[in-house]
Amino acid sequence: MSGPDDSRVPGGGLTPAPATSAAGTICTGARDAIIVVDVQRDFCPGGSMPVPGGREVIPVINHILPYFGRWIYTRDWHPVTHVSFATQPEFDDFSWPPHAVQGTPGAEWCEGLEMPMNAILVSKGDDPQCEAYSGFQVQRLDLAEFLRLRKVERIFVCGLALDYCVRQTALDARAAGFTVYLLEDAVRAITPEGAARTLAELEAVGVIRLRSDQVADSGERPPAAYDQDGNPIHHHDD
Ligand code: VGL
Ligand code: ZN
């Protein structure tokens, strides 16, 4: 509830967000990864499980992509018979209309979403019997270890939907020990209640809310992984 120095003002309104100050800006670089969650056609208006305003995250994500050292894109990639699919989806019980079925147009990345050439793509939910809301829940890849080995310390999460897959991704990243930022103008939720609940929950575990205009580029990048001929470059640990 309201503390003496929180941002609530009498009347229940929120004070306007403070103008971005130097202290409120996070300088990103080599040790920062962005995880772009499930920006797929089925989760945008016109898709089978549309998130209101889903497409609005695309320009925001595209704008800040160059500021990161590593890029992870997750996608829902379900078999037709996935355990979460129901003819009468109830949502609250984690059943859904069929969505993001492997190889269908609905599973494709949204048009206009940019993707750096060396982005890591993580498909999830491809086991018919297992739900996977987060890229940290896939069996084939230990995403946390993958990022740690590449000296990533902070993870910036964005995409769809805030109240499900973005939520789980941020929770798992926190539980794995990373500093986690939620890019709040680069996410959209399925419901407003889900958004409010999720923001409170993420805040409680230490996920930091950040707007994309509070991210500034340090210009620092990880060392190149490949030389100009495409051969891997071996870097010795510093
Ligand atoms: C999602 C529910 C089921 C999501 C995916 O991307 O947020 N939510 N599958
Ligand atoms: Zn799904």
227 is catalytic: no
In angstroms, the CA 52 to CA 222 distance is 36
237 is catalytic: no
Summarised one tens digit per residue, pLDDT across range 31-50 is 999 999 999 999 999 999 99
State in Å: Cα 208 to ligand 2 middle: 25
Summarised one tens digit per residue, pLDDT across range 104-161 is 999 999 999 999 989 999 999 999 999 999 999 999 999 999 999 999 999 999 999 9
Cα→Cα distances 207→159, 181, 195, Å: 15, 6, 14
CA atoms within 13 A on the CB side of 38: 34
Summarised one tens digit per residue, pLDDT across range 190-218 is 999 999 999 999 999 999 999 999 999 88
Domain boundaries, the chain: 27-216
pTM of the full predicted structure?
A: 0.87
Peptide bond into 189 cis (omega under 30): no
Place of tokens 């939910």: 125
The mean per-residue pLDDT over the stretch 66-91 comes to 93
Find out whether the beta carbon of 161 lies less than 6 Å from any atom of ligand 1: yes
Sign of CA dihedral 185, 161, 114, 110: negative
27-216: CATH, from 3.30.420.40, 3.40.190.10, 3.40.50.2000, 3.40.50.850: 3.40.50.850
- Ligand 1 site-directed mutation target among 40, 42, 49, most atoms within 8 Å of CB: 49
